Amino acid sequence: MTDAKELRQLIAGQWRSGAGDSVASVNPAQPSVVVAEGNCATIADVDDAVAAAGEASVSWARTPIHQRGAVLLDAAAVVERNALSWGLELATEEGKTKAEGIGEVERAAQILRYFGNEGDRQTGEIFASPRAGEQILLTRKPIGAVAVITPFNFPIAIPAWKIAPALVYGNTVVWKPATTVPLLAIRLAEALTEAGLPPGVLNLVIGDSPIGEALVDHADIAAISFTGSTAVGRSIAASAAARGVPVQAEMGGKNAAVVLDDADFELAVDQVMLGAFRSTGQKCTATSRLILTERIADRFLAELAARAEALVVGDPTDDATQMGPVITGAAQRNIYGGLGTAMNQGVDVLTGGEPYFKGLRAEGFFVAPTIVEVTEPADIWSDELFGPVLAARRAADADEAFALANDSEFGLSAAVFTQDLTRALAAVEYLDVGVLHINSESAGADPHVPFGGAKKSGLGPKEQGTAAREFFTHTTTVYLR
Ligand code: UN1
């Protein structure tokens, strides 16, 4: 395609063509259309990027936090100004609907703005001293040059909520985005560059796992923030632990929505639909399990299946589309493979489950919105498929429903639908998750509050809000006499 955008690396303030393997992002709704192409970084580029981040770190750390924040605020304005065009590019490169793409770009601006104002907030603490004439101060300092590794599913929002706190607290960054969404990575880097970020403070290297490995194993990287699969997160954490490097990892989820008998039925149906199928189910916070108490189960499943069946699935840039494709052919095959296993294990398919055979939806990486009911042990209850697939189970009462919700090695988010305050409080007490939504869908996160998972969903300090500071700074305890 002649109008494919050119991919480049940002190293020490210079945009360079990579000398590594060729790389292209394609439109997952029409995989013959190339969205952006170029060459990956080489290992030498990674070395240069880390060296640039190291060199820039001294003066950036000494730059007053308000000045660092001002760059983020200016970048927020650039991002916001480009929300329509970048949102469309995001939909074309990642496959979520245009409305969601625009919303995500606006969300990135909101995140940049939140952290851009960090200088106005409290930065340390003072303790009393047991000795006369002394106070004990807790101050915070940047860690140094940090690696940021981001997934495909939020190509600009997740990078923003790692890079913005990293930068505002005075760190420098080498960032490797997913190779399926490099164009949006370039857009965020362009916004920060246009806003006046000094050379070397943010470096962008595009490449697959060898580049990621070279980055996370680099001796001069002081910390690693990662979002992605559990397998990759654990291997990064293992190799980083051997070198004493802290890791913040946001990984898998198998998030439950629990709908109790007394729930507001319409609200719960609307929210479960959004949780399961928005972004084609490709959020670590998406609803992939549904637990219903007996009295409403039949009616709820019938209504939900009818709504899923009626979802408009197609070209994400078309205004009428409600759900786009998944990211790659490999992801599509993995999801249908998981569904095949589920069917062999005896689940009841309520809607979906079959590939599309005609038109755009057969050409692109589409998966039909699918709801299955699980009555026997089945892998689909525990394994994350990362697609528009919802596995439902019935529970006798609220206690059994909460126990089923906790029946997962993951604990990222959950949603509970009830109008009964006592049951809502029981959910707060019993559900072992990092994010709990009462009467709203399982996805969604505000920038000023902690985000992250319990159990095997997360590792290290959480993201966003004051939690981000725990990861991107270390403290110095000052005995001041
Ligand atoms: C959201 O729920 O809106 O990878 C954000 C993910 C999460 C972010 C979810 N880290 O899906």
Q: Which domains does the chain have, with CATH numbers?
A: 5-251+457-480 (3.40.605.10), 255-438 (3.40.309.10)
Separation of 433 CA from ligand 1 center, angstroms? 14
The answer to whether 98 touches 317, Cβ cutoff 8 Å, is: yes
Over the stretch 113-137, which tens digit does the pLDDT of each residue have?
A: 999 999 999 888 999 999 999 999 9
What digits encode the pLDDT tens for the residues 87-118? 999 999 999 999 999 999 999 999 999 999 99
* The pLDDT value given to residue 3: 81
pLDDT digits (tens, 9 = 90+) for 412-450: 999 999 999 999 999 999 999 999 999 999 999 999 999
pLDDT at residue 358 in the model = 94
Structure tokens at 51: 């060296």
Report pTM: 0.97
Give the 3-state secondary structure of residue 30. Answer: strand
pLDDT of 317 over the 50 cut? yes
Asked if 250 is an active-site residue, the reply is: yes
Mean pLDDT of all residues belonging to the chain? 97
Q: What is the pLDDT of residues 43-83, one digit of tens each?
A: 999 999 999 999 999 999 999 999 999 999 999 999 999 99
Q: Residue with the nearest Cα to atom 1 of ligand 1?
A: 444
For residue 364, give the 3-state DSSP assignment.
Answer: coil
Q: Is 158 in the pocket of ligand 1 (CB under 6 A)?
A: yes
- CA of 365 from ligand 1 middle (Å) equals 21
Tens-place pLDDT, residues 189-234: 999 999 999 999 999 999 999 999 999 999 999 999 999 999 999 9
Tens digits of residue pLDDT in 6-26: 999 999 999 999 999 999 999
Instruction: Tokens for 39, please give them.
Output: 């060459």
Please indicate whether residue 96, judged by its CB atom, sits closer than 6 Å to ligand 1.
no
Task: Give the whole-angstrom CA distance, residue 183 versus residue 93.
Answer: 8
Task: Indicate the burial class of 44 (C-beta count within 10 angstroms; 0-12, 13-18, 19 or more).
Answer: exposed
What residue ranges in 84-222 does DSSP mark as E strands? 125-128, 135-142, 145-149, 172-176, 202-204
Does the Cβ of 250 fall within 6 Å of ligand 1?
yes
Average pLDDT over residues 249-260: 97
User: What pLDDT band is residue 1 in, cutting at 50, 70 and 90?
Assistant: very low
Residue 350 has pLDDT above 60, yes or no: yes
Q: How confident is the model at residue 327 (pLDDT cuts 50, 70, 90)?
A: very high
Q: What would the pLDDT profile of 365-390 be if each residue is shown by its tens digit?
A: 999 999 999 999 999 999 999 999 99
DSSP state of 174: E
Best substitution site from 100, 150, 251, 284 to test ligand 1's pocket, by max atoms within 8 Å of Cβ? 284
253-279: string of b/e by CB count within 10 Å (b at 16+)? Answer: bbbbbbbbbebeeeebbebbbbbbbbb
Q: What is the CA(424)–ligand 1 centre distance, in A?
A: 23
Four-residue CA torsion sign, 311, 312, 313, 317: negative
